[in-house]
Amino acid sequence: MNKFAERLKELREEKNLTQNELGIEVGVSQAAIARWEEGKRSPNLEAIIALAKFFDVTSDYLIGIED
């Protein structure tokens, strides 16, 4: 699993959110969240920004550039 996929799932679970609930919060489908967490697809820049803002982390942290 890639670093982004790991961190996304970890952050979502820390907030006790379902994939569907997170999708609603950031404006994407549950299926998109599932594919990202499985490492099958990568989000676009707008989605990375929305996720980073929602989780109050940097985009660099989210994509695995920094810890």
Q: Is the pTM of this model over 0.75?
A: yes
Would you state the CATH architecture of domain 3-57?
Orthogonal Bundle (1.10)
Position 28, amino acid: V
Euclidean distance between CA atoms 41 and 58, whole angstroms: 20
pLDDT digit string, tens, across residues 20-59 = 999 999 999 999 999 999 999 999 999 999 999 999 999 9
pLDDT digit string, tens, across residues 4-23 = 999 999 999 999 999 999 99
Cα Rg of the chain, angstroms:
10
DSSP string covering 16-47: T--HHHHHHHHT--HHHHHHHHHTS----HHH
Which helix (H) or strand (E) element contains residue 61? helix 59-63
